[in-house]
Amino acid sequence: MAIFNYEALKNNNERVSGNIEAESDKEARELLRKQDLMPLKLYEKGSAKIPVKSSSPPKKKKTAKKQIKKLSTREKIDFTNIMYTFSKSGISLVESLYFIEINSESKNIQMISIEIRRRILAGSSLSESLASLPKIFDDIYIGLVRAGEESGELEETMKRLAYLLEKQDKLRSKVISTLAYPVFVIFLAMLVTILLLTFVFPAFKGMYEQLGEDLPIITQIFMTTGVFLREHWYLIPLIFLSFFSLMYFIFNWEVSRRFIDRIGLEIPVFEKFLRYTSISNFIIVLRVAFEAGIPMVDSLLFANFTITNIVLREAMKKVIVEVQYGTSLSAALKNSKIFPGIVMCMISTGEESGSLVEMLKQTGEYIDDQIERVVDLLSKLFEPFLFLIIGGIVLTLGLSLYLPLFQTYANIG
Distance separating alpha carbons of residues 6 and 303, to the nearest angstrom: 45
Rounded CA gap, 145 and 84, in Å? 12
What pLDDT was estimated at residue 47?
53
pLDDT at 98: 84
Those residues of the chain that have pLDDT short of 50 are 48-66
Q: Say what the pLDDT of residue 12 is.
A: 53
User: What's the pLDDT at 62?
Assistant: 44
pLDDT of residue 321: 92
**CA 224/CA 228 separation, integer angstroms:** 6
C-alpha distance from residue 293 to each of 126, 150, 184, 238, 269 (Å): 18, 9, 44, 53, 36
What's the pTM?
Answer: 0.70
Reported as a single tens digit per residue, the pLDDT across 256-288 is 989 999 998 898 888 898 899 889 888 988 888
Q: Please state the CATH superfamily assignment of the domain spanning residues 65-137 in this structure.
A: Type II secretion system (T2SS), domain F (1.20.81.30)
Instruction: Give me the helices (H) in 9-72, please.
Output: 25-34
The whole-number pLDDT of residue 73 equals 83
CA distance 262 to 96: 46
pLDDT digits (tens, 9 = 90+) for 118-139: 888 887 888 888 888 888 888 8
